[in-house]
Structure 1
Amino acid sequence: MKIENKKTWTGVALLITIEQVIKIIINYNFLNKRLPILPPLLYFKPMFNRDYSWVNSMLQLNVGKWIHIILVIIMIILIYLFYKYLNTKLGTNKIINIMFAFIFSGAMCSLIDKIFWNGSLDYILVNGFFTFDLKDVYIDIFIGLMLFSLVLENSVLKQIDDKNMLRDFSKYILRKS
């Protein structure tokens, strides 16, 4: 494991720990509180989302807990394998490591929510829209970094042949198994 990867995995552990510690503190001390952050738009208002995902909640699909757990585990495996694939294909890259740390942490926090919290303890309310938590911010940071990298045409990411990437990634996975 390269030193950069050690930093990446340390970052993942730190991001997951921060998110879970915040939830534990809120659960034991602030669960029934409502505090303004940027009124009238943003409030601290903890609530449990027992629908397991934003899509399930918004579309009222009633997809159960175990299906969500299985889907998140599959996503975690694919994220990890794609990260390893990119490291093999492109070498160690700081932006890829940072993006991986955020998306992998978000996915792991989602799995922890489903298994240990029986849903998600969301606590930041965007008035009239939705309530979110830190894991959602991690995922949004990943998306922002990806878009930013694409707009700036990151030289390392330009090396990815998007026309052949899926086939190449599939071959990579089959060689590893």
Structure 2
Amino acid sequence: MKIQNKMACLAVLFLVSIEQVIKIVIYNNFLDKKSPILSPILYFEPRFNRDYSWLNSMLQLGISKWIHISVVAIMSILIYLFYKYLNKQFGNNKIIDIMYAFIFSAAICSLIDKIFWNGSLDYILVNGFFTFDLKDVYINIFIGLLILSLLLKNEVLNQIDENIVKNFTKYILRKLKVIIKH
């Protein structure tokens, strides 16, 4: 594993740890507390989202915990494999490593929420809209970095073309063949 990949792994561990420590502290000390952060817009107001996802909660779809866990687990694996694929194809790139650290951390935090917290402990309320947590911030940082990288024409992202899905699929299939043979 290259040093850059080790830094990305450490960043994931750090981001996941921060998110989980915050939730443990809130759960043990501040679960019943409410406080304005930036009144009348932003409040500290912890609550559990037992619907397992924003979409499931908003549309009241009734999708089970285990389906959510399966989807997040599959997405986590695909994120990891896509990151490895990009490193193999284009070498290390700092912005790709940073983006990976945020999106993979969010995926792992989501998995932890569903398995160990039986939902997400969200704690920042945007009055009249939604409540979110640090994991949601990680996702938005990833999206922001992706948009910024595309606008600034990142050299690696510019090399990614319309064949990326086809080539990535072939890459995954080759990996699966190796796993099956062993």
- Which TM-score applies when normalising by structure 1? 0.99
SS state of the match for residue 136, structure 2? Answer: helix
Q: CA RMSD in A?
A: 0.5
CA distances 1:22-79 after superposition (whole Å, capped 9, x unpaired): 0000000000111110000000000000000000000100001000000000000100
Aligned to 1:4: 4
Q: How many angstroms apart in 1 are the aligned matches of 2:34 and 2:152?
A: 40
- Which TM-score applies when normalising by structure 2? 0.96
* Counterpart residue identity of residue 130, structure 1: F
- For structure 2, the residue ranges without an aligned partner over 5 or more in a row are 177-182
Alignment of 1:34-113 (within 5 A): 34-113=34-113
SS state of the match for residue 171, structure 1? Answer: helix
Q: Does 1:167 align with 2:137?
A: no
SS state of the match for residue 44, structure 1? Answer: strand
Q: How many angstroms apart in 2 are the aligned matches of 1:167 and 1:8?
A: 26
CA distances 1:81-134 after superposition (whole Å, capped 9, x unpaired): 100010011100000000000000000000000000000000000000000000
Q: How many angstroms apart in 2 are the aligned matches of 1:17 and 1:61?
A: 31
Identity %: 71
- For structure 1, the residue ranges without an aligned partner over 5 or more in a row are none
Runs of 4+ in 1 over 6 A off after TM superposition: none
Q: How many angstroms apart in 2 are the aligned matches of 1:175 and 1:116?
A: 34
Aligned to 2:29: 29
